[in-house]
Amino acid sequence: MNSPTATNHAEGDTKVLGDDEHFHVKDAPIDLSHYSFEAWIAFGFFWVLALNIFYQFFTRYVLNDSASWTEEIARYLLICVVFVGMAAAVRTNTHIHVDFFYRMMPKWFARSVSTLVDIIRFVFFAVATVLTWQMMQKMGSYKMTIIDLPMNLVYGVCMFGFACAAVRSVQVAITHWRQGYSVLERPETAITETI
């Protein structure tokens, strides 16, 4: 049977299991600065959604008297999480990409197509922002089904998500232009820095 020995990290100088046979591990400092305000807003919506679902579960299974409004609000909160979270994903460039064909293209053509993707992404989010605004104008004072609140609250959050995504897509495009490639062309160099 082997006795415990000192195990070293990749650096070679930090012992995990010391001579006294106790673990000596230091956690890395927690750095939350790389999260954008969109990510924090989406996180807030997520926790309000979690509390709403807990309240729904509690009233249905513990009190045996389900609160009818929680289902509708949960739907709207999930929409808010998705649309604001979308902007955070655009900022970090972590949406799903298909980079298979870029490996077979000549470099100049892959660069051109990648730039076109950046332009189309911005145009899509900008047009979606304008269309959401126009829809909000046409809906006027339309109310939610169960709660007496305007539906434009939900669509306003969607428009905010589209607008933030449009701004972040411009920032990502500028980053791609400055570095001379995008994550589509070189998937091994995914953007990890904050923008």
Whether the per-residue pLDDT at 20 is higher than 80: the answer is no
Q: Residue range 170-177: average pLDDT?
A: 90
Domain of residue 117, residue span: 37-189
Q: Residue range 83-106: average pLDDT?
A: 84
- Give the pLDDT score at 195: 52
How far out from the chain centre does Cα 155 lie? 19
Residue 2 lies in a domain: no
CA distance 144 to 137: 16
Whether the per-residue pLDDT at 192 is higher than 60: the answer is no
Residue 5 lies in a domain: no
- pLDDT, one tens digit per residue, over 46-89 is 999 999 999 999 998 888 888 888 889 999 999 999 999 999 98
Residue 165 lies in a domain: yes
Q: Residue range 134-150: average pLDDT?
A: 87
Residue 195 lies in a domain: no
Q: Residue range 4-32: average pLDDT?
A: 65
pTM for this predicted structure: 0.76
pLDDT class for 6, splitting at 50, 70, 90? very low
Residue 108 lies in a domain: yes
φ, ψ at 24 (rounded to 5°): -125, 85
Q: Give me the torsion for CA of 163, 170, 182, 193, rounded to 10°.
A: -80
Residue 51 lies in a domain: yes
Q: Within the chain, where are the H helices?
A: 37-57, 69-92, 107-139, 152-179
Residue 89 lies in a domain: yes
Residue 177 lies in a domain: yes
Amino acid at 91: R
Q: pLDDT > 70: what percent of the chain?
A: 87
Domain count, the chain: 1
- Give the pLDDT score at 36: 81
Q: Comparing 25 with 133, which gets the higher pLDDT?
A: 133
